[in-house]
Amino acid sequence: NAGVTQTPKFRVLKTGQSMTLLCAQDMNHEYMYWYRQDPGMGLRLIHYSVGEGTTAKGEVPDGYNVSRLKKQNFLLGLESAAPSQTSVYFCASSSRDRGLAEAFFGQGTRLTVV
Amino acid sequence: GDSVTQMEGPVTLSEEAFLTINCTYTATGYPSLFWYVQYPGEGLQLLLKATKADDKGSNKGFEATYRKETTSFHLEKGSVQVSDSAVYFCALREYGNKLVFGAGTILRVKS
């Protein structure tokens, strides 16, 4: 039972490079989320998706793009990385059923932009 | 928009001390409320939850009660252990399904 899997776990990028973070969940959840975690700022929502083919902006979407082509996958892209995007990125998923409201998190991706 | 406010940390306690971490929320509807815990170097894990007013969530000796009248969901534990040292996040999920987290509270327990 894998739950939510993020790849890669660590990455170092040079300023201006691009990359894609992959999130995969095997729980058939409708909702998926990307957060970034920075010291003293908690978790901030970047983008989220309420279903296959749909995405929406969160609190801090600038510099990121996302896609949800398949229900089980949610991709986060950085087109031109900046040092301000150095952070730990977490993906999460949850069910549409309000009685199963909890979110399940991946282990995180530590990204450093130099 | 919806928001969650947690007490600032770090909170430093001796082993077996009583713990309270305050959490209040602002939401337009009737959100589900959660406490998540993050141990060093790990992702977030659900600690407990409550989905409606007056519900009490409990797990591993931790408790929190959904208080609609005070819009609060304070986390308590009667006797903390060194192994409880972690970052604790209060969160809500509104019916619109966006998850909103507080800034997190660092708990340090000394033996």
> Over the stretch A23-81, which tens digit does the pLDDT of each residue have?
999 999 999 999 999 987 788 999 999 999 999 999 999 999 999 999 999 999 999 99
**Per-residue confidence (pLDDT) for residue A41, from 0 to 100:** 79
**Per-residue confidence (pLDDT) for residue A40, from 0 to 100:** 76
> Over the stretch A40-52, which tens digit does the pLDDT of each residue have?
778 899 999 999 9
**Does the pLDDT value for residue B57 go beyond 70?**
yes
**Does the pLDDT value for residue B30 go beyond 70?**
yes
Q: Which among A110, A39, A47 has a CA at the least distance from the CA of B87?
A: A39
Structure tokens at B50: 């409550």
- CB of A86 within 8 A of CB of A79? no
Least confident of A22-26, B9-13, B26-30: B26-30
Q: Is A58 on the interface with B (CB under 8 A)?
A: yes
Name residues 71-110 of chain A within 8 A of B (Cβ).
90, 92, 94, 96, 98-99, 101-108
Is the Cβ pair B32, A94 closer than 8 Å? no
Within a 10 A sphere around the Cβ of A102, how many other Cβ atoms?
A: 18
Residue A66's alpha-carbon distances to A26, A58, A75, B45, B62, in angstroms, are 19, 11, 5, 24, 36
Residue A9's alpha-carbon distances to A5, A108, B41, in angstroms, are 10, 6, 12
Secondary structure class of B83 (helix, strand, coil):
helix
